[in-house]
Copies of this chain bind each other. A is one copy, B any other.
Amino acid sequence: MRIRLFNGKVLALANGFEVVCGEVWVEGERIVYCGSSEGVTEVPEFDREIDLRGNLVLPGFKNAHTHSAMTFLRSFADDLPLSEWLNQQVFPMEAKLTEEDIYTLSKLGIMEYLTSGITANFDMYVNSDAIAQASVDLGFRTVIVSGLNNFVHSLKGLEDCYNKYNHFHPLISYQLGFHAEYTTNETLLKGVAELAHKFQAPVFTHNSETLSEVEDCKSRTGMTPTAYLNSLGMFDYGGGGYHCVYFDENDIQIFKEKDMSVITNPASNLKLASGIAPVKRYLDEGINVAIGTDGPASNNCLDMFREMFLVTGLAKVREMDASVVDASQVLLAATKGGAKAMGLQQCMDLSAGSYADLTVINLHKPNMQPENNLVKNLVYSGSKDNVLLTMVNGKILYENGEFFLGEDVDEIYEKCNEIVAQIKGL
């Protein structure tokens, strides 16, 4: 399939924040041209030519931390203290899910990503087979990360998954990881560190999400989670942390030295009353910052626009300085920062040769007007409502409010509601 997107404003993110009036050509799964329309004299034949009418095309957002299948818990258990939420609501409900349920619930999450211009996710959940199949079946790009802990999975399973899902399908890759320091014993952690060395691979985990998590780790090990894990050799090939709300100076230096990524989840950190991450510090130190929605049970929506505003807004109020963490830094975190953390080197920007993972933003809406500054408009006033089109791997999966997934979407909604009814015992 050869697709031409023309007559648009192109924010390729390959040359800073330059916006050119131009076009993007897609052939198969890759971008073959991206740039100005000037100098384009011969236009090859396309299967489809889309007139962008002056709208904006940019790389798709990367949702760098989520648990997609938790869609079933959206609006089920909210407004509860964290421990009650987790132990009395989330865990007992999750225990009842089948693989088929996770497959269907993951699809619902992917659909929501597409409405927000998100073209890839970094997904941690209990069943990799179901996640991978849902993504492949819908044509979505997923980096799976292991959620190994004392209760689910094993080191053998982790290694098998690493080998399997890095050679499963072009849309799927796999990163080493574990749920969190506080749910994973030292034997397992040492095993993960060994795998990191064996594969020379980065490791990802929930890290310093709450103050009590950090304090507990310090009483047990005498170190912060970051320092403790690092002492096991966990991050010798890099990696990253989800949340990173409570870091001390030493933690920051470890992340810097090991070229690791901070994946911030601002909406979840608000809703679960975890805190506000020091994103300004991370950026000042040159640490790669990516953005994740976290799962729909704790957010509850999967919307990169809301997250982008929160990253800058919360940084500003945390530092009590309206000038910190500006829109361009946030947009980079939501796109290239995510791609870097997730190991998606071919999804960094819209330069020729990259995978055709992109989104088109409707500028003909009041919240995008006037066009004083397109990057600031995107980050400060953008909305799902502006997403005209989302393309993953060269295929248009969402356009003008409709999904093109080869599936009856109302049936997916119905199935999800049935799963919830069954789990609730209705």
Contacts and interface: CB of A to CB of B under 8 A. Distances in A.
B323 A370 contact: no
B80 A303 contact: no
Given A74-B377, A316-B271, A383-B384, A322 B369 contact: no
Interface stretch (A37-45, A232-240, A412-420): A412-420
Nearest to A385: B384
Contacts of A272: 316, 322
Interface in A296-326: 296, 299-303, 306, 309, 312-314, 316-317, 319-324, 326
Contacts of A417: 369-371
Nearest to A266: B313
A267 interface: yes
A95 to B, nearest CB: 18
Interface stretch (A108-116, A193-201, A389-397): A108-116
Contacts of A73: 372
A200 to B, nearest CB: 38
22 contacts: A72-B370, A74-B369, A74-B380, A75-B372, A76-B372, A76-B373, A78-B326, A78-B376, A85-B322, A108-B369, A270-B313, A270-B317, A271-B312, A273-B322, A275-B320, A300-B380, A301-B381, A301-B383, A302-B367, A306-B306, A370-B416, A372-B420
A364 B273 contact: no
Q: When A and B form their complex, which 5 residue pairs have the shortest distance between CB atoms, in order from nearest?
A: A270-B313, A301-B381, A75-B376, A112-B366, A384-B385
Given A317-B273, A416-B370, A420-B370, A380 B327 contact: no
A88 to B, nearest CB: 13
A417 B374 CA distance: 13
Contacts of A312: 271
Contacts of A273: 316-317, 319-322
A109 B366 CA distance: 7
A410 to B, nearest CB: 7
B380 A323 contact: no
A331 interface: no
Interface string A84-122: 010000000000000000000000110110010000000
A381 B79 contact: no
A278 to B, nearest CB: 14
A274 interface: yes
A273 B270 CA distance: 17
Contact of A270 (B78, B85, B316): B316
A387 B327 CA distance: 26
A276 interface: yes
A115 B385 contact: yes
A149 interface: no
A417 B349 CA distance: 29
A16 interface: no
A51 to B, nearest CB: 15
